[in-house]
């Protein structure tokens, strides 16, 4: 192929094709004839990726930027959560050790104060240096435990906020799907309609392909079924033929279903 299927505006409609080439569309440029298979035309008209490349480079760039930003934020958040979990584990271990020391000191203070010599000193109004040292160490240990507990609570709060932030990040697959779904209803140009929507090409489409093509022709099409076939609701304001056909037919079907 010497041309590009994406350069649709530079092509002119062919004057005809061989009867045996039912799977091929032929178009003519100013200088020579170009041949495109129906599969290539289908990709051009129905593939959201091809449509976006032709009509929405700005949208592609914007979506790519959003994907990059989302992935970066997700990566950064995951790294912060990982670091926070490590720090939380370290603090939990330290706090456990400090609490253990605190309990040992409490026992040591109680044991020392229950000693006979200490009780005698107390009666005489004398302080015991050993009890004093133990109590000072106990107070410092309790303060350390409180500080570690506060830091641990702060880490927990930070981790919870990070997890919530991570949950609110959009799913990248959903972003991509949402973007390309918009391309599926990108209107066909008049040039594309004139050049490519030939009876031969249309007859080559499957039902799904035909529906996909129709979405690009009229994404907001609404129809009802009459005895004459499909009819556009928007056109009903311009004609009266077939008016009430749908409701009359529907009522008659329901009437028969009830056995009347």
Do 55 and 37 form a contact (C-beta atoms < 8 A)? no
Q: Which of residues 156, 178, 200 is at a domain's end?
A: 178
Is the domain of 63 the same as that of 159? yes
In percent, the amount of the chain with pLDDT more than 70 equals 65
pLDDT of residue 3: 37
Q: What is the DSSP letter of 2?
A: -
Is the domain of 169 the same as that of 75? yes
Query: Closest by alpha carbon to 192, among 13, 3, 65, 61?
Result: 13
CA–CA separation, 260 and 256 (whole Å) = 5
Is the domain of 74 the same as that of 151? yes
pLDDT of residue 218: 76
pLDDT at 103 over 70: yes
Instruction: Determine, yes or no, domain membership for 75.
Output: yes
Is the domain of 234 the same as that of 161? no
220-225 contacts: CB < 8 A, separation 24 or more? 225/249
Measured between alpha carbons, how far is residue 162 from residues 84, 87, 88, 171, 173 in Å? 10, 14, 14, 16, 21
Instruction: Determine, yes or no, domain membership for 183.
Output: no
Q: Which phi and psi (to 5°) does residue 242 adopt?
A: 85, 0
The whole-chain average pLDDT of the chain stands at: 75
pLDDT of residue 242: 47
> Quick one: average pLDDT of 102-106?
90
Q: pLDDT, tens digit, for every residue of 181-240?
A: 999 999 999 988 888 888 888 889 899 998 899 899 876 654 444 444 444 444 444 444
Q: Of 48 and 129, which is predicted with more confidence?
A: 48
Work out how many domains the chain is built from and give that number. 3
CA–CA separation, 260 and 254 (whole Å) = 9
pTM equals 0.57
Domain range holding 210? 1-56+189-219
Q: Beta-carbon neighbour count of residue 260 at 10 Å?
A: 7
């Amino acid at each position: 192929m010497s041309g590009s299927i994406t350069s649709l505006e530079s092509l002119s409609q062919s004057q005809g094709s061989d009867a045996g080439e039912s799977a091929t569309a032929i178009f003519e440029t100013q200088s020579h004839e170009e041949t495109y298979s129906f599969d290539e035309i289908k990709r051009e008209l129905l593939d959201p990726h091809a449509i976006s490349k032709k009509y929405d480079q700005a949208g592609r760039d914007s979506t790519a930027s959003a994907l990059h930003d989302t992935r970066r934020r997700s990566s950064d958040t995951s790294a912060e959560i990982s670091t926070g979990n490590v720090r939380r584990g370290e603090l939990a271990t330290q706090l456990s050790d400090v609490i253990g020391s605190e309990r040992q000191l409490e026992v040591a203070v109680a044991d020392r104060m229950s000693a006979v010599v200490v009780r005698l000193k107390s009666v005489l109004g004398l302080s015991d240096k050993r009890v004093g040292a133990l109590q000072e160490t106990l107070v410092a240990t309790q303060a350390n435990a409180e500080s570690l507990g506060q830091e641990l609570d702060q880490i927990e709060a930070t981790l919870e906020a990070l997890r919530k932030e991570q949950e609110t990040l959009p799913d990248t697959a959903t972003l991509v799907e949402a973007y390309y779904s918009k391309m599926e209803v990108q209107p066909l140009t008049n040039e594309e309609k004139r050049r490519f929507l030939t009876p031969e090409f249309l007859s080559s489409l499957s039902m799904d392909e035909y529906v996909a093509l129709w979405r690009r022709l009229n994404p907001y099409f609404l129809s009802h079924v009459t005895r004459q076939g499909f009819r556009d609701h928007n056109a009903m304001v311009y004609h009266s033929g077939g008016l009430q056909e749908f409701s009359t037919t529907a009522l008659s079907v329901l009437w028969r279903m009830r056995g009347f």
